[in-house]
Amino acid sequence: MSPTASNSPPAVLDAALFDMDGLLVDSEPLWRRAEIEVFGRHGVALTEDQCRQTQGKVIGEVTKMWFERHPWPGPSPDEVALEVLDAVDALLGTVSTAMPGALTAIAVCRARGMHLGLASSSPHRLIDTVVHRLGLEGRFEVLHSAEHEPAGKPDPAVFVSTARQLGVDVSRCVVFEDAPAGVEAAKAAGMVCVAVPEQPVSDLSPFRRADAVLVSLVDVDDALLDRLGAAAVSPGNG
């Protein structure tokens, strides 16, 4: 049974930062669907595995990468990025669903009095779409997009900026991430990180720097957060 607010020990972790795509919302298949369709129109035949290789990156970086490898005539990489965003936005607003345990994990962190931030590689327009679609208005104190940073994940900037906006120290933040690039970003920021791979994986080496690896957000509870909090203050952590 989870401890009540009256007998819980003081929280060592002050804030929980949540990624969005593939963690809170089942959007990665929608991203792959949109990328395959849009890039295909411009003569770049991507596979699902190729799309997974860029998971967690800002879409502008993705289009520039594929343009460098397979230049296409016509629209610029930035224009193609907008085409992908339009396609994803439409899908998110109509067919997206919450990942298992997403709403419960948010509630567990809120019940502990933790500050909550959403830190995503997606632009704000998609963040707003997902927040509305999942009924998450008012759950997060900060909604922050890597589009406002000089670099996306695995650069730690999006997490560092979110912590700053929340007014908490990076060492007292736990990040929930589904992508290896996000795990690298969280650890580079000096934060505790929980990896929740979007799909079952047999090779966990891409997530080796995570402080915990979960099958789903259903496994987020007070015991896990207590354990992570203790690890955060242990000598040599990070």
Closest CA to 177 of 166, 168, 12, 162: 162
Half-sphere exposure (CA, 13 Å, Cβ side) for 226? 8
Question: Tokens 């969005």 — which residue?
Answer: 20
State the Cα–Cα distance between residues 47 and 215, nearest whole angstrom. Answer: 25
How many Cβ atoms from other residues are within 10 Å of residue 93's Cβ?
Answer: 14
How many helices (H) and strands (E) the chain has is answered by: 9, 6
pLDDT at 237: 53
For the chain, the structural domain boundaries read 15-26+98-232, 28-95
At 164 the pLDDT is 98
Q: Convert the pLDDT of each residue in 172-231 to its tens digit.
A: 999 999 999 999 999 999 999 999 998 878 889 999 999 999 999 999 999 999 999 987
Q: What is the mean pLDDT of residues 7-25?
A: 84
The catalytic residue among 19, 155, 178, 211 is 19
> Whole-angstrom Cα distance, residue 206 to residue 198?
13
Specify the residue for token string 């770049």.
Answer: 44
What pLDDT does 201 receive? 82
Q: Which residue has the tokens 């007292």?
A: 172
Scan for tokens 């990665």, then name that residue.
28
Whether the Cβ atoms of residue 92 and residue 133 lie closer than 8 Å to each other:
yes
Which CATH entry fits the domain spanning 15-26+98-232: 3.20.20.70, 3.40.50.1000, 3.30.56.10, 3.40.1180.10?
3.40.50.1000
Task: Give the model's pLDDT for residue 57.
Answer: 85
Q: What is the pLDDT of residue 142?
A: 98
Measured at the CA of 222, the angle between CA 220 and CA 223, to 5 degrees, comes to 90
Judge contact between 51 and 84, C-beta under 8 A.
Answer: no
Q: Residue 3: pLDDT band by 50, 70, 90 thresholds?
A: very low
Higher-scoring residue by pLDDT: 204, 56: 204
Question: How confident is the model at residue 198, as a pLDDT?
Answer: 84
Q: Would you say residue 71 has pLDDT above 60? A: yes
Is 21 designated active site? yes
The pLDDT value recorded for residue 202 is 85
The C-alpha atoms of residue 74 and residue 187 are separated, in whole angstroms, by: 39
**Do the Cβ atoms of 229 and 13 come closer than 8 Å?**
yes
In whole numbers, what is the pLDDT of the chain averaged over residues?
92
pLDDT category at 232 given cuts 50, 70, 90 is confident
Please report the pLDDT score of residue 12 as a whole number: 85
Active-site residue 128, yes or no?
no
pLDDT of amino acid 16: 98
Domain 28-95 has CATH 1.10.150.240: yes
Residue 134 binned pLDDT confidence (cut-offs 50, 70, 90)? very high
Distances (CA, A) of 230 to 63, 67, 148, 199: 41, 45, 33, 28
Q: C-alpha 192: how far from its chain's center?
A: 14
DSSP SS3 for 194: strand
Tokens representing 139 are 């759950």
What is the arithmetic mean of pLDDT over 34-45? 98
Q: Find the farthest-apart pair of alpha carbons in the chain and give their distance in angstroms, rounded.
A: 64
Q: Which of 14, 21, 178, 211 is catalytic?
A: 21
For 79-108, write each residue's pLDDT tens digit.
999 999 999 999 999 999 999 999 999 999
Alpha-carbon gap, residue 121 to 58, rounded angstroms? 5
Given a cut of 60, is residue 4 above it in pLDDT? Answer: no
pLDDT of 20 higher than 50: yes
pTM of the full structure: 0.85
pLDDT of residue 234: 59
Residue of 20, 30, 3, 50 lying closest to 136 (CA atoms): 20
- Mean pLDDT for the stretch of residues 160-173: 98
